[in-house]
Structure 1
Amino acid sequence: MPGRIIGVAVDGSGQSQNALNWFIDNLYREGDSVVLIHVAEFNLSVGVLPNVDAISKLVKEQEEKVSTFTGGLTEMLKKKGIPGKVVRESGKPGEAIIAVAKRENVSSLVMGTRGLGTFKRTLLGSVSDFVLHNSHIPVTIVPSS
């Protein structure tokens, strides 16, 4: 019987690292594989007409950071002997996480939370709240430690 495919949302924050560690320590079983989902959300606020060269430089710098981050994740999986891959996506994080989970046939998702209070979560929104309420599969939310 083939193992499960577990999705873990990662963004470089301490909360997502905590969720990844929790997955490895508590949920991972031999035969499972993992899809690490990284969503880049590019927000370019335009107060003054943008300089194309400046935007290109910003995008290139962001791409280099993401490549370094996801490359490190791939190496970590290899070192730990966990089969899996990193999927990079762009867009609204909650929607993109759910889309990747569907496309990759993920059986459950693991993600961290920023631990926002009710007021801030209502005001700012929460990726984990969105995924929890819109996902087609079980979602494990790992609280901040």
Structure 2
Amino acid sequence: MANNVHTVTPKRVVIAMDGSEYSQKAFEWYVKNLHTTNDEYEPILAYCPEFGHVFGPFMTGDTNAVSEKLRKEEEEVQAVLQSLQATLDQSGVIGRVVRLTGSPGDAICKLAEDEDADCIVTGTRGHGKLRRTILGSVSQYVIHHAKVPVFVCRDRHK
């Protein structure tokens, strides 16, 4: 007699996380609105640190100072990654934390494509139009370049 066990591949959800309260709100939204306890979803917490400011205004010929700055930034990155893993552990959600490199928006879209994700969840800092125009916005980039649906979570209380 054939075994009629039907296994369902979990839907992968990339959750863009930067360690901020805004990304925490995005994770909370995922847990409240998408996550189920039957392993239907596999969340992937994606963190892409930005190191650009190390080489901008910090430009110096003092290699020891540069090395120390890079070491401190790597410690901060590791602390964020550990915090994201703790977020998963404390919530009881089984998922993965992935460290990305490069431009955050592009890296998030590429991860979603590489992982064959079903959607992306991201927070937004709610910058005004002028600030978004000048600085750019990761959530705006993801909205315009992702090949899957994107949920942008705003904090209604701000």
- Same fold (TM > 0.5): yes
**Which residue number in structure 1 is paired with residue 36 of structure 2?**
29
**Which residue number in structure 1 is paired with residue 93 of structure 2?**
82
Partners of 1:83 and 1:54 in 2: CA distance: 40
2:15 paired with 1:16: no
CA contact (8 A) 1:9 1:110 kept: yes
RMSD over aligned Cα atoms = 1.5
Other structure's SS at 1:40 match: coil
CA contact (8 A) 1:42 1:91 kept: no
CA contact (8 A) 2:60 2:66 kept: no
**Which residue number in structure 1 is paired with residue 125 of structure 2?**
114
Q: How many residues align?
A: 145
Other structure's SS at 1:141 match: strand
Moved over 4 A (4+): none
Unaligned runs of 5+ in 2: 1-7
Partners of 1:97 and 1:17 in 2: CA distance: 16
Q: 1:97 aligns with which of 91, 99, 108?
A: 108
2:51 paired with 1:42: yes
Partners of 2:112 and 2:66 in 1: CA distance: 31
State the AA in 1 paired with 2:100.
E
**Which residue number in structure 2 is paired with residue 142 of structure 1?**
153
TM-score, normalised via structure 2 length: 0.84
Unaligned runs of 5+ in 1: none
1:43-77 deviation line (CA, Å, top 9, x unaligned):
12156533211111111111111112211221331
State the AA in 2 paired with 1:55.
V
State the AA in 2 paired with 1:40.
P
- What's the % identity of the aligned pairs? 34
State the AA in 1 paired with 2:42.
S
CA contact (8 A) 2:19 2:84 kept: no
Segment drifting more, 112-121 vs 75-84: 75-84
**Which residue number in structure 2 is paired with residue 133 of structure 1?**
144
TM-score, normalised via structure 1 length: 0.91
Offset at residue 78 of structure 1 (A): 2.6
Other structure's SS at 1:54 match: helix
Q: 2:72 aligns with which of 53, 57, 61?
A: 61
